Each structure stands twice: as C-alpha cells, then as structure tokens.
Amino acid sequence: MFPIVPIVFAVLSVIVLGAAVMVVTNRNLFHSALYLILTFLGMAGLYVLLEAEFLAGVQVLIYVGAIAVLILFAIMLSGRYLQDPGRQLNQQWPLAAIFAVLFFGVLAFVLLQVRWATVQAEVPGNYLTRLGQDLMGPYVLPFEVASVLLLVAMVGAILIARER
C-alpha cells in the first residue's frame, strides 16, 4: 500500500509549524490571526490521522468557529491602533536564540529518551456511544465541574467587559 499516512502527517506538520511561525513573525495582526486559524485546521487534520474524528470536528467547531472568531472580533474592534507593532526583534535576540536552542535540545532529549506508555488499541466502532457513556458515568464529576468552570468564565467576562 502506498505509504500515505506518513506523507499526510508530514504535510500537516509542515502546515501546522509553518503557520505557527507565521503567526509569531507576521507584522500584520489580522494575518497572524488567519495563520492561527490555519494552525488550528492543521491540528484538526492531525486529530483525524489519530482516528479521533470527533475531536477534529470539535477542534474546527470551537477553535476555528468560536475562539478564532473571538480573536478576530477583538482585532477588528481595536481599530488600526494595532497595525504595526514596530520591530519584531529587540537587542537581546542572540541570548534568546541561545536559550531557545537549549530548550529545544532538552525537549528533544526528553521526547526521545522517555519510554512513553503507548497502547496498541483499535478505536471501537461505537466510540461515540462509549464516549457518552463514560462522560455520564465514571467522568461525570469533571463534566459537571466543566459546566461550573464555563459559568465562572461567563460571569467573569461579563463583569470585566460591560460598560460602566
């Protein structure tokens, strides 16, 4: 069989990483937001590769459809004040580069050396039903706590954002 999974993985990784770099380095704030959306879409593709299609759908629905929209609203309502933030690099960039490389080295070492507990398992056919049952069964407490968390977020945001 044509080795399609590694190729798709490589393409998606390039998209995700490239878009992430563009988010950070682009001078136009709106373009950064659009690249962020591309990053999210790439992540959704990676979730699909892991056979987590529900998670991929949720990623697009929430991250792209809600959170990215929130970010875009914030950018659009801030007017043109945030157009050109000035220089992207300041005088300490060599030091920052060294630290970034060191950090990358540490992360790579950890990722390669640690024996991660992976499980060879098939995704069951009725995984959505199982997810629902688990959510209402063993994981019902985190589920309810999530709703409280959302309530707190809503109250906090409204408190901060409303007109005085």
Partner 1 sequence: MLQNYLFIGLFVAVAVLFPFLAVGVAWLLRPKKPTPMKQSTYECGLETVGETWVRYKVQFYIYALVFVLFDIETVFLFPWAVAYHQLPLFALVEMFLFIGILLAGLAYAWRKGALRWF
Partner 2 sequence: MGILETLDQLLNILGNALARWLATFLPAWAVTAIMDFLVIVLVVAVALVIVLFLIWMERKAVARFQDRLGPNRAGPYGILQSIADAVKMLTKEDVIPAKADKGAFNWAPAIMVAPALLVYAVIPFGRGMVPQDLNIAILYVLAMASMTTIAVLTAGWSSNNKYALLGGLRIGAQLLAYEIPMALSMLAVVLLAGSMSTVRIVEAQARLPFILMLPGVFLVHFICAAAESNRGPFDLPEAESELVAGFFTEYSGMKFGLFFVAEYINLFAISAIITTLWLGGWQGPLLPSWFWFFAKSFAVIFVFMWVRFTLPRFRIDHLLSFAWKFLLPLALTNLFVVGLVVKLGLGFWPQAAALLVTNVAVTVGALYLGGWALRRAQQRAVEERMAQWRAWQQSR
CA distance linking residue 31 with residue 4, whole number of Å: 31
164 is a site residue for partner 1 (CB under 8 A)? no
Mark 63-102 with x for binding to partner 2 (rule: CB under 8 A) and - for no binding.
Answer: -xxx-xx--xx-xxx-------------------------
Segment near partner 2 (CB under 8 A); pick from 9-17, 60-68, 114-122, 151-159: 60-68
By CB under 8 A, name the one of 15, 23, 38, 58 that touches partner 1.
58
Mark 112-141 with x for binding to partner 2 (rule: CB under 8 A) and - for no binding.
Answer: ----------------xx------------
CA distance linking residue 163 with residue 159, whole number of Å: 9
Nearest to 23 by CA among 65, 75, 62, 58: 75
Nearest to 50 by CA among 122, 130, 126: 122
For helices 4-25 and 29-49, angle between their N-to-C axes, nearest 10 degrees: 160
CA distances to 50, 54, 122 from 119, in Å: 13, 20, 9
User: Of 82 and 96, which has the nearer Cβ to partner 1?
Assistant: 82
Q: Rule CB under 8 A: which residues touch partner 2?
A: 1-2, 4, 28, 30-31, 34, 37, 53-54, 57-58, 60-61, 64-66, 68-69, 72-73, 75-77, 128-129
